[in-house]
Amino acid sequence: MRRVIRHRLFWPIVALLVLIAINTIARPQFIGITVRDGQLYGALIDILRNSAPLMLVALGMTIVIATRGIDLSVGAVMAVSGAVALTIIDASSDPTGVGTVAVAVLAALGVSLALGMWNGLLVSVVGIQPIIATLVLMLAGRGVALLITDGFITTVNSPPYSFIATGYLIGLPVAFLISLTAIIVIALFERRTALGVLTEAVGINPEASRLAGVRARGIVFTAYAVTGLLAGIAGIIYSANIRAADANATGLFIELYAILAVVLGGTSLMGGKFTIAGTVVGVLTIQTLESTILFLGVPSAQSPVFFAIVVIVVVIVQSPRLHAWARSAVRARARGAASDSSIDKAKVAS
Amino acid sequence: MPADVEVPPVVEMTGITIRFPGVLALDGVDFALRPGEVHSLMGENGAGKSTLIKALTGVYPIDAGEITVAGRRSVFATTADAQRAGISTVYQEVNLCPNLSVGENIMLGHEPRSAGGIDWKATHSEAAAHLESLGLQLDTRSQLSTHSIAIQQLVAISRAIVLDAKVLVLDEPTSSLDRGEVERLFAVIRDLRGKGVAILFVSHFLDQVFEISDRITVLRNGRLVGEYAASELTRAQLVSKMIGRELDELAALSSVADRTIDRTRTPVLRATGVGRRGTLEPVDIDAYEGEVVGIAGLLGSGRTELVRLLYGADRADTGAIQVNGKPARIHTPRHAIDHRIAFSSEDRRAEGIIPDLTVAENIVLGVQAKRGAVRRLRKGEADAIVAELIQALGVRPADPTMLAGNLSGGNQQKVLLARWLATAPELLVLDEPTRGIDVGAKADIQRKVAELSDKGLSVIFISSELEEVLRLAQRVVVMRDRRKIGDLDSSEIDLDGLIDFIAHNGSETAA
Amino acid sequence: MTAIDTRPKPAETFASRYSTFLRRHASLMPTLSAVVILIALLIGARVRFANFLSPGNLSALLLDNAYLIVLAVGLTLVIITGGIDLSVGSVMAFTGILCASLLAQGLPAFLVVPIMLAGGALIGLLIGVLVQYFNVQPFIASLAGLFLARGLAFVVSLSSIRVEDPAILWLQRTRWSVGGWYITPTGIIALLVVAIAFFVMHWTRFGRTVYAIGGSEQSARLMGLDVARTKILVYVISGVCGGLAGLLLTAYSGAGYPRNGIGTELDAIAAVVIGGTLLTGGTGYVLGSLIGVLVYGTIKKLISFMGAEQSWMQIIIGALLLVFIVVQRLIVARSQRRGR
């Protein structure tokens, strides 16, 4: 059992450490942390702060994937969330007031939660394939965000709002603290309650879970609803950072990076057992990789090439074919494939 | 056509041995198929029937022995190899493409072509001709999925003709067919037999086997019991060879079946007329407190279908269920659980064990599912329940942190049983709880079932091992061809009598 | 022995002819409904805007969306096998900017075009190999393709590059008119792609194998079809279509732009689904995808005519997609319940 856990997180953590080591060798100030006015600064701190939106989205994605689903709409939900918040602030009489910001944030989160619940409804009640159900929102969501902002990029100057993205609390970036809180809350919720185990059961063997009396519908619905909420938070942080609601650019491709983070962390795309810690490591790895690429002087627009290579390497390594290149494993796969085939299921079912 | 031993076999399998991790599926089995003959392969679950067929059709590689086709030694690495050697298979789940037309399915890969690509006119007329040669006239342009399974099977057979099959393997072809469709299928089979095709017919419907076969081979526990001419075997003999006799290790439990049950009180479960169109004719069944009801019958008789309806895994079309005298709506497993009915499935791999979760997590799953996602069982409480059940059932290794998928079949079954016992049910429904399990584990489970029923738990269980049924149950419900044909008192019948009852009663043609 | 005879009989009632038609062509229903929707849209638009159906406008409808037609055709083949290709928009952008860049460096068009198509084919090949040999889910494999192509587009150039090559510009600038109708070489290329795909899907073994795989990959394999080669080939074809679409778009806009096609794969998927192809595979027609693109284009034109914001475009397409998916799901659920 212990070996399994070590197996799971071992390589992701090693990969992250190697990446950090390479960076440190190239620029020793990478791991340098300076303190100014009681606040921490440094490349590592930047990574912690900048990774917040991706971290939040990836957390939700992990749970959704565990139920054998996927959520492609997170980027669009981010855009809507930012649009709602900024439009409220922009339209209010006191854009710099804390009260206004609070109202804007709550409204944005409410809308995001509703969008997540919409996805949950489509998947768990109507029974639509997750990829399609969330594709709809992915398409329509940005349009909705554009409508909310009237097609413009709404900008605001609101110190309390910007504080969310750039401010500090107890010496650490607020954005990081938000994502840290989310990690802790989700981890506690999944592991302290039975939600995590039941989610895994549903993902690993939906039929056995059904026969065991597990109520899958509620679990799946909650997964999408929570993901929507997390995407909403991410959207607020993102828009607070650029002080604008850019419906087209917000969260562009973030779902892809989130999926990559989940996969890097060791959770299988086939659903079932998941690891929050793994996703955290995956996100930090992606963020560090991004930072490395930038440092190398590569324009950020070209960074997807590196990530493509990472994705390809990871999936090939995780691929069963690689393991099947052992000679005896070829035989096992013939039997395994045969026993998994519907032919066998038909026989057993009779 | 009488079995003619002078004709050389078109397929000869000698000394076939196949091993899977922990299980010897086939042990030195000999089997031969002769042209112009219908040969049936018989055996219960775990006998090795499907493994032998898979070896013949190139799905499984063999560990020992050899296969000869038309006199030449053949090694089948893939299903394509077997097909090329002239062995065509029609599976129970027809392996055609439902989205394509009938004619296209028949000719797929062999369509006649002209300068402008595939010649559809020629394709369809050729397909129609092949169907005609089997006495069928279908609209070859209609989509395959618009036809019944019976028709689809015939289309699959037509395709085999196109491929010039020497051997036709029919794997449970009649499970979804009604009487008329079976007649039509048999006419086609006889026709092919007349043309010299060797036909391997696999089915558990005894009547049909005797109706169509020239020869019968029986397997049991991976070994060959014997090959017989169909005309020389009686039904009772066949059943007895398939089921056989078990060692007397478990005879000590015979006292259980002798216990008297108070049937004047309200039964824990009363099901009247429960059935499901296409799978089960309406059945009545009761279970009283402390009673063990065994359900006996051969594979395909509808036993599993019945208990799945009682448990809500499938939804009944007809009938009503009463729990403790009050009408109960049981449409989903949750309903059953709320009525304190627990169910352990026949297919513990696909429908029971969650392999990537630990033994402990698997055991408390039922209890946890009942409590919902938020109220988690306290660790101390969970550990206590798990430890007690592991000990009571003798799960080996007694390690609650082990992944359930790594346990042997017998221990997985115990874990599954533990899951349900943890929910403190009133009625426990078990489908083949001791199938494919070593004798020691078998004894443990049977002992536990006896113990629990002593304490008042009602049990309904299915078993292919009639000795087990007679040993544990006070009453035996006998199923056959998806109907209940009898409700017997176990103290009034012995093994031979039960075998006889299964073989003869309820059939249209007495043997 | 005449056990059953389901052939159509000579003297028939309308009812029996209709039922025969359904048994043969049930999978055409979604596509037919797309045609109905298109006609309804066009008529509705005509009612609202008198000049909507002018020959000029209708010609523009085809030509403005020529690139999307080509993408949709390639995507249709992939989706029919039960897969998906998220990289098409990025491949279009990559090959487009590659084309512009190579032309700007002085390479002649007759060399550049094959290179573009080869580039698309290579990315498609990568995806196909990942899917077939490494058992990677098509979603993830094409995601990697998307990342790769998009990044490579920016590697070629960070900003747009104008195209001056007369051969390429000829593709878009030349017009052949009859009355008010006109067509350009790009339009002809798009229609040719549709025609070729139509032929391949219905008259070649390759096309029938594509359908067979979609119906049941296991059955197709057991029936002896070359499933592996076909599956890889459909992704290669999708990549080539991506390259071709890049050519069309570059000719159309007169420049290569690495930011092209962000989100286009979604529009293409929507068009394919609206055109009657089931995302579960096995059912679909390239002609249907053509209709789907025309529906898409009509809605886009309507929105611009109405002076509404382009953001409505995305919402409407999303909503339309949802409606189609739900209807598809209901049909599937109903036939499952009726099933054996």
Q: Could you read off the pLDDT of C257-304 as tens digits, one per residue?
A: 999 888 898 899 989 998 989 888 899 999 999 999 999 999 888 888
Residue C2 confidence (pLDDT): 42
Q: Name the pTM for this structure.
A: 0.82
- Please say whether the beta carbons of A92 and A107 come within 8 A: no
Interface contact B80, partner C, CB < 8 A: yes
Shortest alpha-carbon distance between residue C203 and chain A (Å):
30
Q: Does residue B250 carry a pLDDT above 50?
A: no
Count of positions (residues) in chain B: 511
The SS3 assignment for A334 reads helix
Q: Does residue A350 carry a pLDDT above 50?
A: no
Residue C332 confidence (pLDDT): 67
Q: Region B34-40: what's the mean pLDDT?
A: 93
Interface contact A218, partner B, CB < 8 A: yes
Q: Which chains touch B (3 or more CB pairs under 8 A)?
A: A, C
Cβ within 8 Å, pair A211-B358: no
- The residue that leads in pLDDT, A119 or B234, is A119
Q: Which of A146, A307, A316 lies closest to C311 in CB terms?
A: A146
The 3 state secondary structure assigned to chain C is CCCCECCCCCCCCHHHHHHHHHHHHHHHHHHHHHHHHHHHHHHHHHHHCCCCCCHHHHHHHHHHCHHHHHHHHHHHHHHHCCCCCCCHHHHHHHHHHHHHHHHHCCCCHHHHHHHHHHHHHHHHHHHHHHHHHCCCCHHHHHHHHHHHHHHHHHHHCCCCEECCCHHHHHHHHCCEEECCEEECHHHHHHHHHHHHHHHHHHHCHHHHHHHHHHHCHHHHHHCCCCHHHHHHHHHHHHHHHHHHHHHHHHHHHCEECCCCCCCHHHHHHHHHHHCCCCCCCCCCCHHHHHHHHHHHHHHHHHHHHCCCCCHHHHHHHHHHHHHHHHHHHHHHHHHHHHCC
Q: Does residue A342 carry a pLDDT above 60?
A: no
Interface contact C110, partner A, CB < 8 A: no
| In chain C, % of residues over pLDDT 70 | 94
Residue B208 confidence (pLDDT): 86
Q: Region B322-338: what's the mean pLDDT?
A: 89
- Indicate the pairing of strand B117-118 with strand B280-287: unpaired
Cβ within 8 Å, pair C318-A307: no
Q: Does residue C193 carry a pLDDT above 90?
A: yes
Interface contact B135, partner C, CB < 8 A: yes
Residue A32 confidence (pLDDT): 82
- Indicate the pairing of strand B215-220 with strand B292-296: unpaired
Give the torsion sign (CA, B95, B101, B106, B107): negative
Compute the mean pLDDT over every residue in chain B, rounded to the nearest whole number: 84
Residue B115 confidence (pLDDT): 86
Q: How many CA within 13 A on the CB side of residue C209?
A: 19
Q: Which chains touch A (3 or more CB pairs under 8 A)?
A: B, C
Note whether ipTM > 0.90 here.
Answer: no
Q: Does residue B295 carry a pLDDT above 80?
A: yes
Q: Region C113-131: what's the mean pLDDT?
A: 96
Q: Region C150-167: what's the mean pLDDT?
A: 92
DSSP state letter for B95: -
Residue C248 confidence (pLDDT): 94
Residue A348 confidence (pLDDT): 34
Residue C340 confidence (pLDDT): 32
Q: Does residue A343 carry a pLDDT above 50?
A: no
- Please say whether the beta carbons of A215 and A195 come within 8 A: no
Q: Which of C1, C209, C221, C278 to mutate to test the interface with B (most CBs of B within 10 A)?
A: C1
Q: Which of A59, A53, A24, A33 is nearest to A291 (CA)?
A: A24
Q: Read off the pLDDT band of A58 (50, 70, 90).
A: very high
> How does pLDDT run across B460-483, given as a tens digit for each residue?
989 877 878 888 888 999 998 888
> How does pLDDT run across B171-180, given as a tens digit for each residue?
888 877 777 8
Phi–psi pair at A60, nearest 5 degrees: -60, -45
Residues of C in contact with B194 (CB under 8 A): none
Q: Please, which residues bridge with residue B118 across strands?
A: B113
Q: Which of C39, C64, C71 is nearest to C269 (CA)?
A: C71
- Please say whether the beta carbons of B198 and B35 come within 8 A: yes
Residues of C in contact with A259 (CB under 8 A): 140, 143
Q: Region B129-148: what's the mean pLDDT?
A: 87
Residues of B in contact with C229 (CB under 8 A): none
DSSP state letter for B232: G
Q: Which of B314, B344, B369, B357 is nearest to A203 (CA)?
A: B357
How many Cβ contacts (< 8 angstroms) between chains A and B?
123
Q: Please, which residues bridge with residue C255 across strands?
A: C162
Residue B257 confidence (pLDDT): 61
Residue A331 confidence (pLDDT): 57
How many Cβ contacts (< 8 angstroms) between chains B and C?
102
Q: Does residue A3 carry a pLDDT above 70?
A: no
Residue C145 confidence (pLDDT): 95
Q: Which of B116, B117, B187 lies closest to C1 in CB terms?
A: B187
Q: Does residue A256 carry a pLDDT above 70?
A: yes
Cβ within 8 Å, pair A346-B20: no
Cβ within 8 Å, pair C205-B184: no
Residue B438 confidence (pLDDT): 66
Q: Does residue A323 carry a pLDDT above 60?
A: no
Burial class (CB in 10 A: 0-12, 13-18, 19+), B383: middle
Residue C25 confidence (pLDDT): 83
> How does pLDDT run across A134-146, given as a tens digit for each residue?
988 988 888 888 8
Q: Region A127-137: what's the mean pLDDT?
A: 87
- The residue that leads in pLDDT, B309 or A4, is B309
Cβ within 8 Å, pair C216-B159: no
> How does pLDDT run across C232-260, given as a tens digit for each residue?
999 999 999 999 999 999 999 999 999 98
Residues of B in contact with C205 (CB under 8 A): 109, 111, 118
Q: Which of B351, B406, B420 to mutate to test the interface with A (most CBs of A within 10 A)?
A: B351
> How does pLDDT run across A207-252, given as a tens digit for each residue?
888 888 888 888 999 999 999 999 999 999 999 888 888 887 888 8
Q: Which of B117, B136, B142 lies closest to C203 in CB terms?
A: B117
| In chain B, % of residues over pLDDT 70 | 92
Contacts 24+ apart (CB under 8 A), B407-413: B407/B359, B408/B22, B408/B438, B408/B441, B409/B22, B409/B348, B409/B436, B409/B437, B410/B436, B410/B437, B410/B438, B410/B440, B410/B441, B410/B442, B411/B441, B412/B348, B412/B349, B412/B352, B412/B353, B413/B344, B413/B348, B413/B437, B413/B441, B413/B445
Compute the mean pLDDT over every residue in chain C, rounded to the nearest whole number: 88
Interface contact B104, partner C, CB < 8 A: yes
Interface contact C180, partner A, CB < 8 A: no
Q: Does residue C129 carry a pLDDT above 90?
A: yes
Q: Does residue B356 carry a pLDDT above 80?
A: yes
> How does pLDDT run across C202-226, given as a tens digit for each residue?
999 999 999 999 999 988 988 888 8
Q: Read off the pLDDT band of A344 (50, 70, 90).
A: very low
Q: Read off the pLDDT band of A100 (50, 70, 90).
A: confident
Cβ within 8 Å, pair B97-C282: yes
Q: Which of A68, A150, A305 to mutate to test the interface with C (most CBs of C within 10 A)?
A: A305
Q: Does residue A346 carry a pLDDT above 50?
A: no
Residue B297 confidence (pLDDT): 85
- The residue that leads in pLDDT, B183 or A337, is B183
Compute the mean pLDDT over every residue in chain A, rounded to the nearest whole number: 84
Cβ within 8 Å, pair B60-A338: yes
- CA nearest to B96 within chain C: C219
Q: Region B242-266: what's the mean pLDDT?
A: 62
Range of weakest confidence among B15-24, B109-118, B256-265:
B256-265
Burial class (CB in 10 A: 0-12, 13-18, 19+), B424: exposed
Residue B81 confidence (pLDDT): 83
Q: Which of A131, A299, A309 lies closest to C158 in CB terms?
A: A299
Interface contact B97, partner C, CB < 8 A: yes
